[in-house]
Chain A
Amino acid sequence: QTVVTQEPSLTVSPGGTVTLTCASSTGAVTSGYYPNWFQQKPGQAPRALIYRTNNKHSWTPARFSGSLLGGKAALILSDVQPEDEADYHCLLHYEGGWVFGTGTKLTVL
């Protein structure tokens, strides 16, 4: 069974930069896994942020970016704002379907 692992929790100061990662139990994550990233706030449906590794949706704030780092997919938040406090989930594509990451709870403090 494929497991996609994210940091359980991270804390960042307002105005700071933080990197969230997404690792696959099958090995290095490449662009061929077509990473997607989502933000979820309490009581809300998820909101898409990034698709196909580093592409932003029209509504994605410029301070969010996606990349591949050290064999993992990464979501980088720059100039973090208080409203960025949320859960973040990655999604990877495998032969036959998709697998979500375990999720990261980001605290802005």
Chain B
Amino acid sequence: QVQLVQSGAEVKIPGASVKISCKASGYSFTTYYMHWVRQAPGQGFEWMGMVDPNTGKTNYAQKFQGRVIMTRDTSTGTVYMDLNSLTSDDTAMYYCARERGGSLNFDYWGQGTLVIVSS
């Protein structure tokens, strides 16, 4: 069965970076784009960007350009999201979610990774 398993919770100080992983299984890894979405406490969702695991091509939301890097490792079926220059506003639950390449159809989501930024 399809599974997206994310890495565990992180606590970071302001100015630091965080790298979250999302390990995919149960399907052809390179067939589906992987998106990253976050949800601040008590807030709605915010789309951060996506990576095409087949090519490594990325598309980032303008808000995060210059501060986020999304990568993939096809040998392990894992995608990564690296966010730097963290502030307290980055405290949120971060999710990966897959989209069949170009289908504009989001289906499976990871379980979420809580990132807390605090001094």
Contacts and interface: CB of A to CB of B under 8 A. Distances in A.
Contact of B44 (A57, A93, A100): A100
A37 to B, nearest CB: 10
Interface in B80-117: 95, 97, 103-112
A55 B110 CA distance: 22
A47 B62 CA distance: 26
A91 B106 contact: yes
B65 to A, nearest CB: 11
Q: How large is the interface on A (under 10, 10 to 19, 20 to 34, 35 or more residues)?
A: 20 to 34
A46 B46 CA distance: 13
Interface of A: 34, 36, 38, 45-48, 51-52, 55, 57, 89, 91, 93, 96-103
Given A45-B109, A45-B111, 10 more contacts: A36-B105, A45-B110, A45-B112, A48-B108, A48-B109, A52-B104, A52-B105, A55-B105, A97-B47, A97-B62
